[in-house]
Amino acid sequence: MPRFQFLIALAAIALAVCLSGCGPEPSAHAQVPTAIRKRPRPATSPAPAVSPSPAPPAAPQKSPPPTTASGEGWSPPVPLRDWEFLVVHHTATDTGDVATINKEHQKRKDSTGAAWRGIGYHFLIGNGKGMPDGAIEPTFRWTEQSDGAHAGSLRHNERGIGICLVGNFNKSAPTKKQLAALKNLMAWLQKETGIPNERILRHSDIKPTACPGKKLPLLR
């Protein structure tokens, strides 16, 4: 082969080799098969907010006990009868409560010889000796709306509400709490029954007696 042709052939071979090996290097991404390419991870959703557990319901508030200052607990469970008078007494003793007076009155007898059912008053007001000072306690005669056994007069027993204060008011005056309780009780009874002031009586206004004592102030 002539030298000139040999050089041409050699140049052609070199050019072919260069074209096949000097191209741009394929990217790393292009080298990963499509089937195993990693997909972008989805953004992580925030964890759902946890609602706080509801607070346990508050314990129900207990109603306050009835108070003897406002009339709560005094209304009888039966209809009121037609009362005409309020009659005020004292026990003529230093101490007393409904239970002890009830036992004492059960020993008494009326004009026919029949024994009393028990305490003759409709209400008793304590002086701190046997009952709390100023406490007002209705008796069975009020809750039943039955006749009293306190006045020594049929009409005033049938139509008179007997209110008795513990104490001997010929010796000492009633306590301030007793007087306040008596005032509140009479005002409530007058409102409920319509009894006027002139029919608020001391026991001594009905019959000769030292009850309810000279140291009990005027009632009206």
Other C-beta atoms within 10 Å of 192: how many?
A: 15
Nearest CA among 150, 103, 104 for reference residue 123: 150
The token duo for 106 is: 């059960």
What whole-number percentage of the chain has pLDDT above 70? 68
The verdict on residue 192 lying in a domain is yes
The verdict on residue 216 lying in a domain is no
Q: With 80 as the cut, is the pLDDT of residue 206 above it?
A: yes
The verdict on residue 33 lying in a domain is no
The verdict on residue 133 lying in a domain is yes
Nearest CA among 184, 218, 215, 216 for reference residue 200: 218
The verdict on residue 195 lying in a domain is yes
The verdict on residue 142 lying in a domain is yes
Q: Which domain holds residue 144?
A: 85-109+121-205
The token duo for 191 is: 């409102």
Taking a C-beta distance cutoff of 8 angstroms, is the pair 203, 86 a contact? no
Task: Look over the chain and give the mean of its residue pLDDT values, rounded to a whole number.
Answer: 79
Taking a C-beta distance cutoff of 8 angstroms, is the pair 165, 127 a contact? yes
Q: What is the pLDDT of residues 99-114, one digit of tens each?
A: 999 999 999 988 788 8
> What confidence score (pLDDT) does residue 13 get?
45
What pTM value is reported for the model? Answer: 0.69
- Counting every residue, how long is the chain? 220
Other C-beta atoms within 10 Å of 120: how many?
A: 23
CA 214, chain centre distance (Å): 42
The verdict on residue 126 lying in a domain is yes
The verdict on residue 114 lying in a domain is no
Overall number of domains in the chain: 1
Per-residue pLDDT averaged across 65-94, rounded? Answer: 84
Q: What is the pLDDT of residues 34-79, one digit of tens each?
A: 443 444 454 544 555 544 554 544 443 333 333 455 577 899 999 9
Domain containing residue 189: CATH number: 3.40.80.10
Give CA separation, 25 vs 19, 31, 149, in Å: 13, 10, 126
> What confidence score (pLDDT) does residue 58 get?
46
